[in-house]
Amino acid sequence: MSAPVAKFPRWLLRKPDEDAEARVFCLPYSGVGASMFNRWPRWLGGTGRVEVCPVQLPGRENRLREPHFGTYERLADAIVAGLHGYFDRPFVLFGHCAAALPAFETALRLTERGLRPPSALVVSAQAPPHHCPHDRFLELGDDELTAELGAIAVARGGTAHPDLLDLTLRVLHRDLSATRRYHRPVTPVPFPVTVVHWADDPEVDVTLLRDWRAYAEDTRPVQLPGGHYEFLSAPRGLLDLLAARALPVLAKE
């Protein structure tokens, strides 16, 4: 007799480990799904203490048949409702590029509702909400977007298959619609914010990244080596940073 299949929210690719001391919830950026973190380890620092939990958004990959979330505000509401049971221990919310925006909204919802806030919000290569909409992709046509998606597929260790690119482009258009609609005035928050700038990334003006300082008293700028898509390869500097923000004791060991 086979063992019963463990149930877990459709927001995650796998059931979180109950023995994890802390978690890092990673949101995918525009056009793709949680499999973008397929080159990341499950555990950070090799300690078996901080678990990586890629978040799967509706309207893509194994949730392709579900309706698109429409706006980042509605997405944040749905994430809080779907994952609140897993915010029961120290955790970090991580988002690169536009994924930082629903990550911020999710952290804000948790705070506003008196729920456990993140140990830190870690945003990478993204201007803060009061500068939005701000995304290079918003100015690109379909041919240019398809070329970008092909480059991303290769950076993830895959191939730029035309049929897959066409499907991804349709998802990307819906995601970019959410980006165009997103704007929020400066909103001070009580949780720490770490802002990652990639040293060889020409896409984001570092002066805009500095403006995250208006959101949190504890705002920490960090520069890491590499370009805009360097994070896909799970660079050690980023993984160590996330582990230390999720479980600060690791930063002292």
Distance (Å) of CA 91 to CA 4, 51, 138, 143: 28, 9, 31, 39
Residue pair 197/223 in contact by the 8 Å Cβ criterion: yes
Q: Is the pLDDT confidence value at 128 over 50? A: yes
pLDDT one-digit tens code per residue, 177-217: 999 999 999 999 999 999 999 999 988 899 999 999 999 99
Residue 195, strand partner residues = 123, 221
Place of tokens 């895959």: 158
Select from 89, 73, 29 the least CA-distant residue to 55.
Answer: 29
pLDDT one-digit tens code per residue, 42-63: 999 767 799 999 999 999 999 9
User: What is the pLDDT at residue 1?
Assistant: 41
Query: pLDDT tier at 4 (50, 70, 90 boundaries)?
Result: very low
User: What is the pLDDT at residue 251?
Assistant: 61
User: What is the pLDDT at residue 5?
Assistant: 44
Percent of the chain with pLDDT over 90: 82
DSSP state of 70: -
The set of residues, in sequence order, having a beta carbon less than 8 Å from that of 134 and lying 6+ positions away, is 127, 208
Indicate whether this model's pTM tops 0.85: yes
SS3 143: helix
pLDDT one-digit tens code per residue, 216-237: 999 999 999 999 999 999 999 9
How many CB atoms are closer than 10 A to CB 44? 28
Select from 28, 10, 191 the least CA-distant residue to 86.
Answer: 10
